[in-house]
Amino acid sequence: MRNIVLEAVDLVKIYNVNTENAFEALHGIQFRVYDGDFIAIMGPSGSGKSTFINTISTIDRPTHGKVYIHNTDVSTMSEEEIGKFRYENLGFIFQAFNLLDTHTLFENIAMPLSLAHTPVEKIHARVHELAKLMDIEHSLEKFPNECSGGQRQRAAICRALVNAPKLIVADEPTGNLDSKNSAELMKLFRQMNEEMGVTIVMVTHDPLITSYANKLIYIRDGRIETELERGPMTQETFFSAITEINSAESKGLLDA
Ligand code: ADP
């Protein structure tokens, strides 16, 4: 039996709660992530994907229900506890990379360790180890605006990995990359997942990106509508199945 890394129980998110503009974006979702999962979350625009990933990853709080990460109830933690918990347990990768332009790649990657007061030699060794793995070791002294989109995204990944989190959360990680760099990034995700044992939950709208994952969660109108495990399927067969689920969705929007 694999360990549960993350569990959401009866997850409800209501924006503008207790006002006349109250809007229920998530309607009581049950969701489990097991150790070693690589999950892609898909769904139409406005279906609640970002709300969902933010709510399960401590970026936002659920209105009702619970979120457990490594058996710790993160839904009731104070802001201070959440900050510490994030540094120690989670890695985030966003579409916009969120690198600081006034800092070199080295300084950006080192930031979570600097904040945790890690000794300088340790920081140096860890940053170089990851930069080598991601093939940006020769660009560490550059500033983000001197680097390509692919290099910046690799730096953002190094930063997400620098404190060796067991769980990576990514929202549209390939959103700003061309198709070649997107495929490269997904190969890296797969490598992290298979060789380093990192559990990954990511949001994407792209069936090709999802085909690198080992499970699809399809969200519609604030509910999980479909779950599909890759299992023994080849990537190509999985890709076809993902495309079919997405196009069935689109067909539902066609005029009768
Ligand atoms: P997706 O990521 O699938 O595009 P979102 O999670 O961004 O969907 O949004 C889900 C629903 O919640 C949408 O109807 C959106 O308008 C609404 N929503 C998102 N953020 C807010 C907010 N801060 N206040 C009010 N409504 C919001």
In tens digits, the chain (256 residues) has pLDDT values of: 789 999 999 999 999 999 999 999 999 999 999 999 999 999 999 999 999 999 999 999 999 999 999 999 998 899 999 988 888 889 988 776 679 999 999 999 999 888 878 999 999 999 999 899 888 999 999 999 999 988 998 899 899 889 888 899 999 988 877 888 888 889 888 988 998 899 999 999 999 999 999 999 999 999 999 999 999 999 999 999 999 999 877 666 666 5
Total residue count of the chain as it appears in this document: 256
CA of 48 to the centre of ligand 1 (A): 6
8, part of any domain: no
CA of 110 to the centre of ligand 1 (A): 33
Question: What pTM was estimated for this model as a whole?
Answer: 0.89
195, part of any domain: yes
Contacts of 4 (CB under 8 A, 6+ apart): 32, 33, 34, 35, 68, 71
Asked if residue 50 has its Cβ within 6 Å of ligand 1, the reply is: yes
69, part of any domain: no
21, part of any domain: no
- Per the listing, tokens 């969701």 go with 31
Residue 27's DSSP bridge partners are 12
Positive/negative CA dihedral, 247, 248, 250, 256? positive
1, part of any domain: no
CATH number at residue 178: 3.40.50.300
Total tally of structural domains belonging to the chain: 1
Asked if residue 143 has its Cβ within 6 Å of ligand 1, the reply is: no
Which mutation among 23, 41, 54 tests ligand 1's pocket best, with the greatest number of atoms within 8 A of CB?
Answer: 23
68, part of any domain: no
Asked if residue 104 has its Cβ within 6 Å of ligand 1, the reply is: no
Q: By residue range, what is the domain housing residue 182?
A: 39-60+76-255
157, part of any domain: yes
33, part of any domain: no
Where is 10: in which H helix or E strand?
A: strand 4-15
Residue 33's closest CA among 193, 209, 232, 207?
193
